[in-house]
Amino acid sequence: MTNRSRLTGIWYVLPALAFVIAFTAWPFLQMVWISLNDWSLITPPDFVGFQNYLDAFADSQFWVSLSFTLKYTLYITPILMIGGYLVSLLVTPNSGLSRLTRTVVFTPVVIGLGASSLLWYWLFSPNYGLVNKFLMDLGIIDSPVLWLGVDANLSNWAVILSITWKVLGFGMILFVAAIQAIPQEITEATMVDGAGFWQRVRKVILPLTRRTILLVTLVSVIGSLLAFDQFYIMTAGQPRNLTATSTFYVYLNSFPYLKLGYGAALSMILALIILGFTVVQMILTRRSER
Amino acid sequence: MGHTSKEERLVTGRKHGVRRLQPSVMMILILAWAMVAGACADSGAGDTTTSAAAEEEPTTTAAAEEEPTTTAAAEETTTSVAGEALAVTCDPVSPDTEGSLTMWERTGGNAQMVDALVCAWNGRNPDRPISLEYIEHTAMVDRLARGLATGDVPDLMGMDLIYGPQFTSAGQLLEVTDLVDQDLMATASPGHVATATWEDSLYGVPLYADVSALFWNKDLFEAAGLDPETPPTNLTELHDMAAAITGIEDGVYGYYLPGNCAGCNIFTFAPMIWANGGKIEPAAPGDEAMVTPEVIAPVLEWARMMHQEGLIDPAAQSEDGATFAQVFGSGNVGIMGTGNFNITLVSGAEGIEGQNPDMNYGVTLIPGLNTGDVASFLGGDIVVVPQGSERLDDAVDFMNFILSDEVQVEVYAKLLNMTTRTDPELTDNPYYAEVPLLQDVAAAIEIGQTPFTLKFFELVNSPQGPWLQMLQRVYYSDDDINTVIADAKAEMEAIINE
């Protein structure tokens, strides 16, 4: 490669590189620096070394939040994956009904997460919510259920329901695209061989859409580990901080409590955990390609 | 339609005349769509969006945010004072207007009042009008903190008074001690003055005041066989009256305590503790919290009893403040601690439709365990000038303007809000005379207390704070009350000593 062509390559890469440096690398370095300081924004920063990290490990609420976040991720990821995949199997054929179903299931994806959380917050309202009214009219319950902010498990499931409604279509549409990309000859060959629908799903469709499954899993896991809006709006961490996710706890410390250094340290720890998950996912993806 | 091989169909992506998108293309389209949608959603997610559980939770002014507000485009009304018109509604002023002052105010406060004050000022000061911007109240503290760090601050601002000590102690507000009219300040709301003062220096004046009081539903009192003109004067009477009212109709309860709202409880339940001589929050490092447990415990025991006996709607356990202001006006609660804003909400006012205008109710001071012991939370906002403002003189003029007799009567009282000065000649005004309940609730200003602490949000207002955690254990668990108090005390002292 000549010097001239090398230089040309650098020029092509430079805009992307500048973007990454300005909007990812530099803020990340700043966050590292902030995490080493005790800083409230309204007073000058005070360098404290790794004290914020030591405080985080001794902070019981941090572990409660992390444990709840992992629990939420563990619950919602299979629901989104299996649910999205099953729906995609139903709506893959390009019939009118399938297209309509795809549109209906995908529509919530384009609604902002804040708006959808607010919508579900009011749907679950004990006095004004349609969910309770519906269940009472059907005679399933006698008195309003306190979905949010009273019982941690119930609150978690209420949020999971709202997010499933909101996000299921995202996985579905990717799965539909992946399934539709399977060469028709393969499907027809398995049909000629006498394979039933579920056999085709198990032996052909699932293996050939593995990369998409891993991609959607990765997106879903990272999104769930960073869950904020839905809990901020629907439960505010209640009851007794048991539904305060890690990101919610980071926000709480960084801004309302004005402990920016501590919040940055919590962010760093969370980033490392997510990095760990991502590395595992990447290893799995590479293995699947062999 | 010509024949197409399978290979050709795969290449072109067409089958039965319908285009099949390749996964990568589909993914890019979806991501692009999601980013656009996200950007659209986020564009409103900064300072002016609304959110429910967290955002709706009242701060010290509890559910005042639910109070209907006047819109800038509302029909303009004016009041003639000394030959001059004092506008209380007007069109908003752009920050680009020459000579204008920029002002921040939080949402969730008393927007109706602030709008009117700004309009009154703008009418009198067309060469230096105020351009008002509302900041999401849960984001106000960090927005100001960020603004102070970067120099992006308004010329003046309304601040929830309980955050005064945090910012004055950090030296982030400009002093106005010798600039504001001392005669006017002599009778200014003491709670506002206290929170705007740090080490004998004054940094702000009252913008508006909200006080908590005990409301009782005379219709339900009558239906329960109680004297509708006699409210409870101590917690025992309150319990007995609530017991008599509970269950007289389906869904009717004697009392109400929101179970998931820290701000509502400091506004309406803390006064019962204060009336009994207790103190909740530590002011500064080294200070003691929950003083004294022996005084606080009986009030907490009373609250637990009210829950255990079913005198409070079980649905209140999930009340996070979003519907708190509508509870009394529903007509299903016999007695309830709430704020002055609930008078307008329930009965309505000029241009404001009341929630339940035919309901008969009374207002009295929040009692303690013993007859004669009463207390109230005095909340609201103060006007302050952040460091970096270059319009201190104009800001001080605005402060003196809103403290003036004319504005106190013709803006505050006219809009059925509390006057921020306690002079009898101001509270004895023609507007209050038409609504005697306002005179009853105005009495709360003189006895009102305002917590003074450097970490109010973390200690009290946060849904994650020790105050709400303590109350939830009191209301909904069987944990030993003394243990609950001891835990709250330890946590509060740990927070303030950090």
pLDDT (0 to 100) of residue B7: 37
Q: Domain residues of chain B, as ranges?
A: 66-210+381-439, 211-378+452-496
Instruction: Flag if B145 and A40 touch (Cβ within 8 Å).
Output: yes
CA-nearest of A76, A248, A251, A64 to A162 is A76
- Angstroms from A139 CA to nearest CA on chain B: 18
Say if CB B137 and CB B106 are below 8 A apart: yes
Task: Indicate whether B55 pLDDT > 80.
Answer: no
A252 vs B9, B318, B464: nearest CB:
B464
Mean pLDDT of B65-73: 36
Mean pLDDT of A144-172: 94
Q: How confident is the model over B419-434, as pLDDT tens digits?
A: 999 888 888 888 888 8
CA A91 to chain centre: 24
Mean pLDDT of B209-230: 96
Mean pLDDT of B232-245: 97
Residues B442 and B132: their CA atoms lie apart, in Å, by 28
Most A CBs within 10 A among B464, B468, B479, hence the mutation to make, goes to: B464
Q: Is A178 left (phi over 0), alpha (psi -120 to 50) or beta?
A: alpha
Say if CB B129 and CB B95 are below 8 A apart: no
Task: Indicate whether B70 pLDDT > 60.
Answer: no
- What's the CATH architecture for B66-210+381-439? 3-Layer(aba) Sandwich (3.40)
Residues B109 and B162: their CA atoms lie apart, in Å, by 13
Instruction: Flag if B458 and A257 touch (Cβ within 8 Å).
Output: yes
Mean pLDDT of B308-313: 96
| A chain contacts of residue B34, beta-carbon cutoff 8 Å | 109-110, 170
B22 vs A181, A234, A254: nearest CB:
A181
Higher pLDDT, B34 or A58: A58
Task: Indicate whether B52 pLDDT > 90.
Answer: no
Give the least confident one: B3-12, B113-122, B128-137, B202-211: B3-12
User: Kindly report the CA angle at A140 between A137 and A146, in degrees rounded to 5?
Assistant: 90
Q: Domain residues of chain A, as ranges?
A: 52-111+162-289
Residues A118 and A140: their CA atoms lie apart, in Å, by 25
Q: Which residues contact residue B117 at a Cβ distance below 8 angstroms, ignoring those fewer than 6 apart?
A: B207, B208, B402, B407, B411
Task: Indicate whether A169 pLDDT > 70.
Answer: yes
Instruction: Flag if A122 and B320 touch (Cβ within 8 Å).
Output: no
Q: How confident is the model over B444-484, as pLDDT tens digits?
A: 887 888 999 999 989 998 888 999 999 999 999 999 999 99
Q: How confident is the model over B71-113, as pLDDT tens digits?
A: 333 334 444 344 466 777 788 888 888 899 999 998 877 788 8
pTM confidence score = 0.80
Q: How confident is the model over A71-96, as pLDDT tens digits?
A: 999 999 999 999 999 999 999 988 89
CATH class of the structural domain B211-378+452-496: alpha beta
Average pLDDT value over all residues in chain B: 83
Higher pLDDT, B36 or B258: B258
Structure tokens at B9: 């169909």
Q: Which residue of A has its CA nearest to B9?
A: A184
pLDDT (0 to 100) of residue B48: 35
Task: Indicate whether B214 pLDDT > 70.
Answer: yes
Mean pLDDT of A217-236: 92
Say if CB B63 and CB B341 are below 8 A apart: yes
Q: How confident is the model over A227-282, as pLDDT tens digits?
A: 999 999 999 888 888 999 999 999 999 988 889 999 999 999 999 998 998 888 77
What's the pLDDT band for B51 if we cut at 50, 70, 90? very low
Higher pLDDT, A238 or B31: A238
- Residues of chain B above pLDDT 90, percent: 58
Asked if A115 has any chain B CB less than 8 Å from its own CB, the reply is yes
Mean pLDDT of A207-226: 91
Task: Indicate whether B6 pLDDT > 50.
Answer: no
CA-nearest of A82, A99, A231, A80 to A167 is A80
Structure tokens at B359: 């309901």
- Angstroms from A3 CA to nearest CA on chain B: 34
Residues A277 and A274: their CA atoms lie apart, in Å, by 5
- Cβ-count burial B107-128 (b if 16+ within 10 Å, e if not): bbbbbbbbbbbbbbbbbbbeeb
Instruction: Flag if B34 and A144 touch (Cβ within 8 Å).
Output: no
Task: Indicate whether B36 pLDDT > 50.
Answer: no
Task: Indicate whether B382 pLDDT > 80.
Answer: yes
DSSP B162: G
What's the pLDDT band for A62 if we cut at 50, 70, 90? very high
Q: Is B90 left (phi over 0), alpha (psi -120 to 50) or beta?
A: beta
Pick the CATH number of A52-111+162-289 from 3.40.50.300, 1.10.3720.10, 3.30.420.280, 1.10.10.60: 1.10.3720.10
Say if CB A87 and CB A168 are below 8 A apart: yes
Say if CB B463 and CB B320 are below 8 A apart: yes
Contacts by residues B480-489 (CB-CB < 8 Å, ≥ 24 positions apart): B481/B297, B481/B300, B481/B301, B481/B304, B482/B293, B482/B297, B484/B300, B485/B290, B485/B293, B485/B296, B485/B297, B485/B300, B486/B293, B488/B289, B488/B290, B489/B288, B489/B289, B489/B290, B489/B293
pLDDT (0 to 100) of residue B351: 65
Residues A212 and B36: their CA atoms lie apart, in Å, by 22
